[in-house]
Chains A and B, each alone.
Chain A
Amino acid sequence: MCLAVPGKVISIEGGTGLIDFTGVKRKASLELLENVTVGEYVIVHAGCAIERLDEEEALKTIALFKELSGSDDI
């Protein structure tokens, strides 16, 4: 029920964005966020973008998980 999927905003029309979920494109409302721009990553739940992905934090997390699992295979 709380599944939210990350995707990239590829175009915006009014309050609606076209989001690319690694190949699958779907529309989502951007009205729960302020000033979303094309090229940003957002997470989408029930047809609405509920937050932006923080790239810096995401990269830190990837690096942390790589270090913890002793694996480059992430």
Chain B
Amino acid sequence: MMEGLKEAAAKGFAAARFEELVKKGHGRTFSIMEVCGTHTMSIAKYGIKTILPAGIRLVSGPGCPVCVTCQGYIDAASDIARRKEVIMTTFGDMVKVPGSGGSLADARAEGADVRVVYSPLDCIRIASENPHMQVVFLSIGFETTTPATALMIMNSRRLGLRNLSILSGNKTLPAVLEMVASDEGRSIDGFLYPGHVSVITGIASYERISDRFGIPGVVTGFEPMDILHAVFLLLTNIINGNNTVINAYSRVVRNEGNIKARTITDEVFEACDAYWRGIGKVPGSGLKLRDKFKDMDAWKIFDMIETESAEPTGCICGSVIMGRASPEECGLFGKTCTPDDPSGPCMVSSEGACAAAFRYGR
């Protein structure tokens, strides 16, 4: 239905209109933050920053769920994975993330059964086929992904499976967006809001941010024209002092979001505090299994807690995640930290800011 749009067409759009707008802004620099790993990647892949005129600064925020997962989570996961009775299932980009004592790939090399899944629902089949093993799913993700995991939990319960659990590390964005918006050390003039998170959540939390902090936003899709058009709309609103939220991805995002998906999520999960790598504690931004699902809660089954640990020396992923530093400002970037041998999560995750900068060089 919608085909990918060519960079050339996008460039044609950008050149004329953005120059006009930047002139209206009288030489001011505008900072626009995106909070979605897929936006980070799309922006890098399509060379969006090279198309935009100087004066428009695109910053990556904490939008990559793998990047904001603490080392302590990886350590707990590795510990569980190494147990002989466990099959660990995970999304692919978690496998190489280093914890304080190595990654899941390292555990696998030592004999742990670690399997990549595309969907949390795949775990049901794996658990059914391996009734004598404990299948433990590394549950990471923002609001786009959590409903699929919640569905898996409910279906597993309905099927009477007794050997499937999750290590919950799911997070929600509103609290961390408010933290960024209220951070006095920075000035974000506008937000590009994540298109697919918004499919689930709708736009209510963004309207609260624009009301409270006076920062406008645009819900943005992932084609190059989606991103350029969204930046254009956002810049127009910033310059005109309009603190509104525009849904520019209305072909899939409903303003009210997906109520059924949220209902299913609420049935299974409840809010808790969470630690975001590089940021620290963000109250109320995590999700844990409700007590009625405690028999599927790997934190409880394996008696694990998520401990805090120090970043590797020289790693500034925390600053990169908050948009305070660019990948190129890290002393390890491209030298000791590369996609083949990553030091921190921003390079490991296929959607991390450092991986994007390294891969596309722009």
Contact = CB atoms under 8 A, between A and B. Distances in A.
Interface in B250-277: 250-254, 258, 260-261, 264
Nearest to B199: A51
Interface residues of A, number: 35
9 A-B pairs with the lowest CB-CB distances in the bound complex, closest first: A47-B119, A69-B9, A58-B251, A71-B9, A57-B251, A2-B196, A69-B13, A46-B148, A48-B148
A1 interface: yes
B196 A45 contact: yes
A14 B10 CA distance: 42
B352 to A, nearest CB: 10
Contact count band on B? 35 or more
Given A1-B145, A68-B225, A68-B229, A51 B9 contact: no
Contacts of B298: none
B151 A1 contact: no
A4 interface: yes
Interface of A: 1-4, 6, 29, 31-34, 41, 43, 45-48, 50-55, 57-58, 60-62, 64-65, 68-71, 73-74
A51 B264 CA distance: 14
Given A2-B196, A48-B119, A54-B252, A68 B13 contact: yes
- Among A33, A51, A58, max chain B CB count under 10 A is at A51
A24 B118 CA distance: 15
Contacts of A47: 118-122, 148
A54 B122 CA distance: 28
Contacts of A64: 229
Interface of B: 1-3, 5-6, 8-10, 12-13, 17, 36-38, 64-66, 91, 93, 118-122, 141-142, 144-145, 147-148, 151, 155, 194-197, 199-200, 225, 229, 250-254, 258, 260-261, 264, 349-351
Contacts of B5: 65, 69, 74
Nearest to B12: A69
Contacts of B66: 1
A50 B199 contact: yes
B121 A48 contact: yes
Nearest to B141: A1
A52 B254 CA distance: 10
A62 B9 CA distance: 13
Contacts of A70: 12-13
A70 B141 CA distance: 38
Contacts of B225: 65, 68-69, 74
B289 to A, nearest CB: 18
Given A34-B260, A70-B13, A62 B91 contact: no
Given A1-B145, A51-B199, 16 more contacts: A1-B37, A4-B144, A6-B2, A29-B148, A32-B148, A32-B151, A32-B264, A43-B196, A46-B91, A46-B141, A51-B258, A55-B1, A61-B250, A64-B229, A73-B8, A73-B9
A72 B47 CA distance: 22
A3 B93 CA distance: 13
A65 B97 CA distance: 39
Nearest to B42: A3
Contact of B261 (A50, A62, A73): A50
B258 A32 contact: yes
Contact of B148 (A45, A52, A61): A45
